[in-house]
Structure 1
Amino acid sequence: MVTAMGMTSSVSLGNMLSAVYDDTLGGVLVSSFMLDNTDVFSNSGGVAGVNGFATGGTKEITGNNNAYVTVFVSSTNPEAPLTDAQTKALAYGDCTPGSLMGTGSPKTCMTGWLKLDGTAGGTMMGTAPISQTITAVPEPGSWTMLMAGLGMMGFMIRRRRAS
């Protein structure tokens, strides 16, 4: 979910189509997309036939009604705060009709990234809007074990009361 200038836009990014291990950063850069393809920007960089996604480039582009986000996951501690170098690897692009930029130029996709010097890039320039929060989510097996344990406790309490 993205909020800017009092407006909120939410896009479901359920297709993880890119995962690249970066030894220098010590983890994986994971990119998830709304559609089942990696084409977010058509004619990227003004070059006909060049499609895909990237963290740099022009902001006046034609979108393919797709959106993506690239997050960083540390291989040692996924919940650890990001370093500056890891934060600079984050990026997003939203070229869907309902994006926050949808009220502007139809050729403008909402994009954001941090440049190597730490300044912001993309259509959201002027701010450094990129951050991420990863929280632990119990695995389905953990929930099953919890429910089985609670069931066993209830069964034992019931047997004690009956005796």
Structure 2
Amino acid sequence: MAILKICHPALLITLVGCSAEPGPANAAAIMGAQAAPAAAKPANEAFADYWQRFRKAALADDAAGLIAASAATVKTHGTLDSDEQTSVARAAVPPLVRQALASDTTFDARQRTLRQALESSAVPKRGANDPLGYRRVGAFVFEQRKGRWYLTEIYREE
């Protein structure tokens, strides 16, 4: 096996240029060769932050805000476990939220309606039997998925 010696000056300059620090002359070539940076991991969103965003959108009847605060598909069903369950796209959520807020049904020990709960500045606490990453507030169920909170279920009155 023969060992080749590199003696050609043009080849030597090319090799040295490849190992040099990036500069204006070779920045484009180096940028094209670098791998794309990894996507940033979403931080764990606090429910209190999500709740303020959701309640603001719900009370203002902000369709875009409600769509952004909802999971890609949201389950809807009646108040009984035996009621038929359907899934709707997030674009169909705003009228369902509007309907739930119009209800005069109370849901908690303080006999508040869902609208009154949203108008309150208090952030709903996790129930003693609720798993982490889960909140139910009246007709609404919220879940944390991959660090973000979403509206995932709506119980509707028949």
Structure 1 length normalisation: TM-score? 0.23
Larger radius of gyration: 2
- Return the structure number with greater helix share: 2
- Return the structure number with greater strand share: 1
Which of 1 and 2 has higher RCO (CA within 8 Å, sep 6+)? 2
